[in-house]
Amino acid sequence: MKDDIANMIAPQLIRPIPRWPFFAFLGGAMFCLLASSTCHLLSCHSRRLAYIMLRLDYAGIAALIATSFYPPVYYSFMCYPFFCNLYLSFITILGVATIAFSLLPVFQNPEFRTIRACLFFGMGASGVIPVIHKLILFWHQPEALHTTGYEVLMGLFYGIGALVYATRVPERWMPGKFDIAGHSHQLFHVLVVAGAYTHYHAGLLYLKWRDLQGC
C-alpha cells in the first residue's frame, strides 16, 4: 500500500517518468490471465475448441513473460538508451517467436514439446543478463538490490513453472491420482500468477526509484 501511494505522489513532486513499460506489463499479465481463463472455460466444449484454446493459453503466458521484461529493463537502463533498446528488442523478438511457436499448428506435435518448454525457459533465463548488468551499474544503490530480490523470487516461480510443465510432475509419479486437482498444468498456472504478482511489486519499486531519483 505504501508503494502505491508513493507512486501516486512521487510524479507530482519531481519530474514524471514514462509509465508505459509498467502498463505494458500489466496489459501482458491481464491478457495472460484472460487467455488462461477463456482456455479453461471453453476447452471442455469440443476437441476442436480445446485444441485452439490450449494454444492461446501458452501464447498468453509467453506474452506475460515477454512484457515482464519491460519495466525492469526500461527503468534500469533508461539512462543507457543503447542497452535499453538492445534488451527490449531482444525480448520482443523472442516473445513474438514463442507466441508464434505456441499458436502455429505445425509446432504442436509432441516432438516439439521440449523445444516449446526450452523457448519458455530461455525467455525467463535470459532475464539474468539485464539483472546482472543492472547490479554492476547500480550496486551502490539499495533499490537495485531490493528489486533484484523480487526478480530472483519471480525467476524461481517462473523457472519451477517451466520445469513442472516440461517434466509433468507430479502426475508422472502417480498416474491417475492428479486428474482432477494438483496436476502439472494447474501448478504451472499457480506459479505463473505468483511470479506475476511478485513482479508487480518489483515494478512499483522501480517506479518509485526512478520517480524520486531520475537517472
What is the C-alpha to C-alpha distance for residues 128 and 152, in angstroms, rounded to an integer? 9
Grid-cell match 491417475, residue found: 176
Identify which range of 21-29, 49-57, 142-150, 171-179 contacts Zn ion by CB under 5 A: 49-57
Is 45 annotated as a binding-site member? no
CB of 190 to Zn ion, least distance (A): 11
Indicate the residue type of 182.
Answer: G
151 binds Zn ion (CB under 5 A): no
Instruction: Quote the DSSP letter at residue 178.
Output: T
* Cβ nearer to Zn ion, comparing 57 with 151: 57
Q: Are 206 and 17 in contact (CB under 8 A)?
A: no
211 lies in the site for Zn ion, by CB under 5 A = no
Query: Taking the complex as a whole, how short is the minimal distance between the CB of residue 185 and Zn ion, in angstroms?
Result: 5
The count of chain residues that interact with Zn ion, using the rule CB under 5 A, is: 1
Phi and psi, residue 139, nearest 5°:
-60, -25
* Distance in Å, CB of 189 to Zn ion, minimum: 5
Q: Does 192 bind Zn ion (CB under 5 A)?
A: no
Helix, strand, coil abundance in the chain, percent, nearest 5: 80, 0, 20
Q: Is 189 annotated as a binding residue?
A: yes
Residues 121 and 190: their CA atoms lie apart, in Å, by 17
Q: Which of 32, 57, 74, 124: binder of Zn ion (CB under 5 A)?
A: 57
The whole-angstrom separation of Cα 148 and Cα 151 is 5
* Smallest separation (angstroms) from Zn ion to the CB of 60: 9
Q: Which residues are annotated as a binding site for Zn(2+)?
A: 40, 185, 189
In the complex, which residues of this chain contact Zn ion (CB under 5 A)?
57
Q: Which residues are annotated as a binding site?
A: 40, 185, 189
